[in-house]
Amino acid sequence: MKCDIEIYSEGMWRKAASFTLQSEAEIGRGVKGAGFFEYDVDYAAEYLNDRSIHAVSCLLPVDFEFRRMTVWPSFLLDILPSGANRDYFLKELALPNTPAADWNLLLKGGGNPPGNIRIAQAAANFPTAEFHHGFSYEEIIDRAEYFIEYAKENNAPVAGSSGAQGDAPKFLLTQDHKGRFHADGALPDHLACKHWLVKFPRGKKQSDRDILRNEAAYYKVAQALGAIVGENLFFDSDALFTLRFDRKAAGKGVIRMGLESLASLSSMTDFGARAPMEALCGAIARFSSHPHEDIMEFVFRDILNVAMGNTDNHARNTALIKHPDGNIRIAPLYDFAPMFLDDQGIARTCRWTDAETMGTPDWRKVAQILEKFDIAPEKIRASFADYADKVKTLPDLMDASNVDLWLIERLLNKIDGVYRSLENV
Ligand SMILES: Nc1ncnc2c1ncn2[C@@H]1O[C@H](COP(=O)(O)OP(=O)(O)OP(=O)(O)O)[C@@H](O)[C@H]1O
Ligand SMILES: [Mg+2]
């Protein structure tokens, strides 16, 4: 009933901490189970007081304490398989989908999440297979979401490909210097050249494909408007390729950056990840190395979310990234798509308390809330004026970025409403 947590630091995986359930009965309570968290003594001695890249979470600075936890520490929920990945491991382990499965899923499926931490027991399950020559780009495109099955049939190791969370099926793939693709983790670090997250439509419906195709175009729009967007995003035959921003191949090895969602940073220990927007700003204020800039980036993304119909703005869809130099910044934008098109009718998840009616924020009130984070009122006003100018250009810019015309037309009223509210700030 113990899970060991490893952190990648100075070129290798190191045992850093452990979480132990209080008793076997806690397994049945899933992520609500009580337990104890502690750093390893040797690790703590080396990285004492670190609260960025060497800590498992910003909420748990490295120390010698033995902590009693009434529920799982929130960072473990960033690692626990969820969505399509949860389904995959439930099937592998032949487990029913109940909270009692959580502990096993963590120990079996927490071996390769994005970021710089992993569960040692899960990583130990990775088979040490023979070197495989990898797959071509065309093989991925042709097999789409069945690619990993295909890779398995071809005797390639695939265990590291399924570490990312989220409802849509997706793979973590690593490209070698010859351009061939491998499941993440199957290739030794010194042979890795590029790290990709490849995402497929979340279901078989036309709306699922429409959402993903337009997600690619949405990043272009956000980037053109100055939001922080990762490099090299493209869509091809129902697959969205995004270069991973938590990894960098660096000649002899790979640099792994830390990644912690706003849900984890806000101590959220459930998967709904619904939180007031101002509380999420509070998490950024507390942990970012440049809180004002990162809060304003987060608010700008929220404006785009509202204008462009990205209703699924839950607190695991934004993260802070921990850099090797100790800096902590808002991570590049991800999961930015016209989610209002989803058949299940996703309502806006995170909202501003007292500054929003039925998912429509009053930006003047939001601007007032931001003053509580010590951002100068002139700076807030100037930023909102700039955002208004940017939102005004959205219809043309979306067109130029290949967003579907019918989608732009459906959003015209929304965009105009956001523009008018911004003008009022
Ligand atoms: N470019 C990237 N680099 C590194 N990690 C990423 C990148 N894009 C996404 N991630 C990670 O992968 C996870 C899943 O991606 P994403 O949120 O796009 O999937 P999704 O299935 O659409 O999720 P949801 O269920 O929230 O709709 C993210 O929560 C994030 O941790
Ligand atoms: Mg997501």
Spatial contact of 4 and 18, defined as CB atoms under 8 Å apart: yes
Please choose, from the candidates 301, 308, 335, the residue with its C-alpha nearest in 3D space to the C-alpha of residue 398. Answer: 308
Element (H, E) at 39: strand 35-39
251: Cβ contacts below 8 Å, ≥ 6 apart: 190
Q: What's at 310, amino acid-wise?
A: N
What is residue 343's predicted lDDT score, i.e. its pLDDT?
Answer: 84
Write phi, then psi, for 24 (nearest 5 degrees).
-60, -30
* Count of CA atoms in the C-beta half-sphere (13 A) of 112: 22
Report residue 385 CA to chain centroid gap.
Answer: 29
What is residue 154's predicted lDDT score, i.e. its pLDDT?
Answer: 87
Please choose, from the candidates 376, 373, 377, 359, the residue with its C-alpha nearest in 3D space to the C-alpha of residue 418. Answer: 359
What is residue 127's predicted lDDT score, i.e. its pLDDT?
Answer: 61
Q: How far is CA 260 from CA 25, 148, 331, 358, in A?
A: 29, 27, 9, 29
What is residue 132's predicted lDDT score, i.e. its pLDDT?
Answer: 84
Render pLDDT for 23-72 as a digit per residue (tens, 0 to 9): 999 999 999 999 999 999 999 999 999 999 999 999 999 999 999 999 99
| Cα distance between residue 13 and residue 138, in whole Å | 33
Report how far ligand 1's centroid is from the alpha carbon of 77 (Å): 14
Using DSSP, state whether 17 is helix, strand or coil.
strand
Report how far ligand 1's centroid is from the alpha carbon of 65 (Å): 32
Which ligand is the nearest neighbour of the Cα of 262? 1
Residues with C-beta less than 6 Å from any ligand 1 atom? 83, 114, 164-168, 197, 199, 230, 242, 244-246, 259, 312, 316-317, 319, 334-335
Report how far ligand 2's centroid is from the alpha carbon of 25 (Å): 31
Question: What is the CATH number that goes with domain 137-250?
Answer: 3.30.200
Pocket test for ligand 1, best of 118, 145, 197, 344 (most atoms within 8 A of CB): 197
**Residues with Cβ–ion distance below 5 A, ligand 2:** 166, 317, 335
* Radius of gyration from C-alpha coordinates of the chain: 21
Q: What is the pLDDT along the chain (425 residues), one digit of tens a residue?
A: 999 999 998 899 999 999 999 999 999 999 999 999 999 999 999 999 999 999 999 999 999 999 999 999 999 999 999 999 999 999 999 999 999 999 999 999 999 999 999 999 999 867 655 678 899 999 999 998 889 888 888 888 888 888 899 889 999 999 999 999 999 988 889 999 999 999 999 999 999 999 999 999 999 999 999 999 998 889 999 899 999 999 999 978 999 999 999 999 999 988 877 899 999 999 999 999 999 999 999 999 999 999 999 999 999 999 999 999 999 999 999 999 999 999 888 899 999 999 999 999 999 999 999 999 999 999 999 999 999 999 999 999 999 999 999 999 999 999 999 999 999 89
Which ligand is the nearest neighbour of the Cα of 242? 1
Report how far ligand 1's centroid is from the alpha carbon of 277 (Å): 19
DSSP letter at 241 equals E
Report how far ligand 2's centroid is from the alpha carbon of 301 (Å): 15
Which ligand is the nearest neighbour of the Cα of 342? 1
Report residue 253 CA to chain centroid gap.
Answer: 23
Report how far ligand 2's centroid is from the alpha carbon of 166 (Å): 5
- In ligand 1, which atom is closest to the CA atom of 82? 25
Neighbours of 125 (CB within 10 A): 12
* Count of CA atoms in the C-beta half-sphere (13 A) of 62: 22
- pTM value is 0.96
| Cα distance between residue 182 and residue 174, in whole Å | 5
Q: Is 377 buried (19+), middle (13-18) or exposed (0-12) by CB count in 10 A?
A: exposed
The residue whose two tokens read 């992993």 is 118
Report how far ligand 1's centroid is from the alpha carbon of 131 (Å): 28
What is residue 160's predicted lDDT score, i.e. its pLDDT?
Answer: 83
What is residue 128's predicted lDDT score, i.e. its pLDDT?
Answer: 58
Name the residue ranges covered by the structural domains of the chain.
Answer: 2-123, 137-250, 257-423
What is residue 352's predicted lDDT score, i.e. its pLDDT?
Answer: 97
Q: What's at 125, amino acid-wise?
A: N
- The class (CATH top level) of 257-423 is mainly alpha
423: Cβ contacts below 8 Å, ≥ 6 apart: 388
What is residue 151's predicted lDDT score, i.e. its pLDDT?
Answer: 87
Pocket test for ligand 1, best of 117, 333, 335 (most atoms within 8 A of CB): 335
Render pLDDT for 205-230 as a digit per residue (tens, 0 to 9): 999 999 999 999 999 999 999 999 99
| Cα distance between residue 305 and residue 314, in whole Å | 11
Please choose, from the candidates 68, 82, 60, the residue with its C-alpha nearest in 3D space to the C-alpha of residue 7. Answer: 60
